[in-house]
Amino acid sequence: MKGKWFSVGSIGCLVLLIVALLLVGGYPAHSQDKPQYGGILRVVEGAGPRGCIGWPANAVGNDALGMKPCIEYLVNQDNMNKILPCLATDWKVARDRKSITFTLRKGVKFHDGSDFNAEVARFNLQAVKDAKASGTASWTSVEVVDDYTVRINLSEYNNNLLARLSGSPGAMVSKEAVEKNGIEWAKLNPVGTGPFKFVSFQRDVVAKYTRNENYWDKGKPYLDGVELHFIKDPMTQQAVMRAGEAEVLGIGLGKMAADMKALGFKIISAPSGTVSLLPDSKNADSPFGNKKVREAVEYAIDREAIVKGKGYGFLKAAYQLPPSNSMAYDPNFKGRQYDPEKAKKLLTETGYPNGFATKIIPMSFDVDRDVMVALQSYLGEVGIKVDLDFVDYGRYSEYRRKGWHNALLCQPIAVFPNYNQTLDFYFSAKSPDFPSLARPAGFDELIQKSISTVEAKKRNIQNVLEKMFDETMVIPINEVGRGYAVQNYVHDTGHLEWGSWTNWTPDRAWMSK
């Protein structure tokens, strides 16, 4: 960093990355052996891209899986919110915070032989701005400064901007290929600068890539190719790995991770969020409008018993909203521990000595049913009679956007490396989510203060989280996460080291078999 108004060079950031990865628990140490060349790395995921792997302006969700081997971003972001060079080698926020200027890497070519330069970067950034991609609302214009310098002008700055550019909004594809063949062609034919060139894509089946012999990072990649296989059935996934027909498998944490570990596979794991209860605290006629009732709910739940039964050693109880791998996590925070007698006392003080009837509405496609049953049981023990309302995706989305009454929504709150992004996405005044969740006076101002600094500051984030805890806005239950089962001869894939689970390091990966 070069002072408050920062400009980041590649050497210092790479050192920071190495140190960060050594300090973060849960990840395997990189192999000390010399990388070997050759081999096709086969990665299995439960779901694949929906069909836009080559036009970042329209890419959503799992589309990023199909982009990663062949398309690169302006910057990269690790899972502790370090921003690192990629196609941009340097960047600088203006003193008035009305622009951010990027110095671009020279000598980079797309897979079709065309050059990467400032005009190409402007073309890509303008496309995502025109598509109103998430995070671009504050971009007033994109301009070329010189052949290898591009500037994004801003109506207002927030410290999530660089993180956004480590994903689809910052992805670079060949301007020449798009203009020659059209956007519809580009959606299914990615032409990037990455370590592998696109070969073919069969939706819900496989995507294939071959080595880019002219990759700008000389000596890489080590692999001859990458294949992404999309298999829904967990039993089939395991059979493929056990037969040696794949090298890497994306898994959920819990029993499957434990089973794969018992079979001798390496397991890479990391929390991806926190399953949380969201009370309808904004409704004055709801029991949850009273803060003491919300506290009673939290004291009534034995989180440790829940994760012991469901986590198989891979999950943790959550007493704070950020999971344990987050830059916002406070290792000294104790939270409200299990105390059913205190829960009963609080209910009596609030006029509910015999409890009351309510319901939990789980995000059923993303929350463990057994955990919901456990919550129902624990709340029942203090007199809160809970009906579990497992609704479909459409109905849940309606509750989330339009509101709910005398109930607790339950879903994972995802962790972004810059935790300001989590707070802004779910809880700021401009968020369309959770209208029945009360935001206390001054709460949004705390969020806006936290996101407006040039770099994210943990103290500012903690101020927001302390307000949330004091008001019992959200009741965290347990961490959830992702994992990868990996064959022992596979090295340095970088899975779960980066800002998004869809990001990994195909350029760095290699196999000793």
Token representation of residue 287:
């029991």
Q: How would DSSP label each residue in 468-508?
A: HHHTT--EEEEEEEEEEEE-TTEE---TTSBSSTT---TTT
Asked whether residue 6 carries a pLDDT value surpassing 50, the answer given is no
Q: How big is the chain, counted in residues?
A: 513
Q: Are 481 and 253 in contact (CB under 8 A)?
A: yes
DSSP state of 29: P
Q: How far apart are CA 409 and CA 401, in angstroms?
A: 12
Asked whether residue 1 carries a pLDDT value surpassing 90, the answer given is no
Taking residues 239-250, what's their average pLDDT?
A: 97
Question: Beta strands 88-93 and 206-211: pairing type?
Answer: unpaired
Percent of the chain with pLDDT over 90: 88
- Equal CATH topology for 10-247+487-511 and 271-479: no
Structure confidence by residue, pLDDT tens digits, 186-233? 999 999 999 999 999 999 999 999 999 999 999 999 999 999 999 999
pLDDT score recorded for residue 332: 95
Q: How would DSSP label each residue in 62-102?
A: THHHHHTTT-EESEEEBTT--EEESSEEEEEE-TTSSEEEE
At 241 the three-state DSSP class reads helix
Q: Say whether pTM exceeds 0.85.
A: yes
Tokens 């369309």 sit at which residue?
432
Q: Which CATH number fits domain 10-247+487-511: 3.30.160.100, 3.40.50.720, 3.40.190.10, 1.10.3720.10?
A: 3.40.190.10
For the chain, give every domain's residue range: 10-247+487-511, 271-479
| Of the candidates 465, 436, 472, 438, the residue with the CA atom closest to the CA atom of residue 296 | 472
Structure confidence by residue, pLDDT tens digits, 103-155? 999 999 999 999 999 999 999 999 999 999 988 999 999 999 999 999 999 99
Asked whether residue 8 carries a pLDDT value surpassing 70, the answer given is no
Q: Which CATH number fits domain 271-479: 3.10.105.10, 1.10.760.10, 3.30.2130.10, 3.40.50.970?
A: 3.10.105.10
At 371 the three-state DSSP class reads helix
Q: Are 417 and 282 in contact (CB under 8 A)?
A: no
pLDDT score recorded for residue 60: 87
Q: How far apart are CA 136 and CA 148, in angstroms?
A: 22
pLDDT score recorded for residue 32: 55
pLDDT score recorded for residue 5: 39
Q: Are 343 and 333 in contact (CB under 8 A)?
A: no
User: In Å, what is the CA distance from 431 to each residue of 195, 377, 396, 401?
Assistant: 37, 32, 17, 10
Asked whether residue 341 carries a pLDDT value surpassing 50, the answer given is yes
Burial of 174 (0-12, 13-18, 19+ CB in 10 A): buried
Q: Are 258 and 314 in contact (CB under 8 A)?
A: yes
Q: How far apart are CA 131 and CA 126, in angstroms?
A: 8
Q: How would DSSP label each residue in 156-182?
A: S--TTHHHHTTSGGGEE--HHHHHHH-
Taking residues 418-436, what's their average pLDDT?
A: 95
Sign of the C-alpha dihedral, residues 134, 139, 140, 146?
negative
Mean pLDDT of the chain: 92
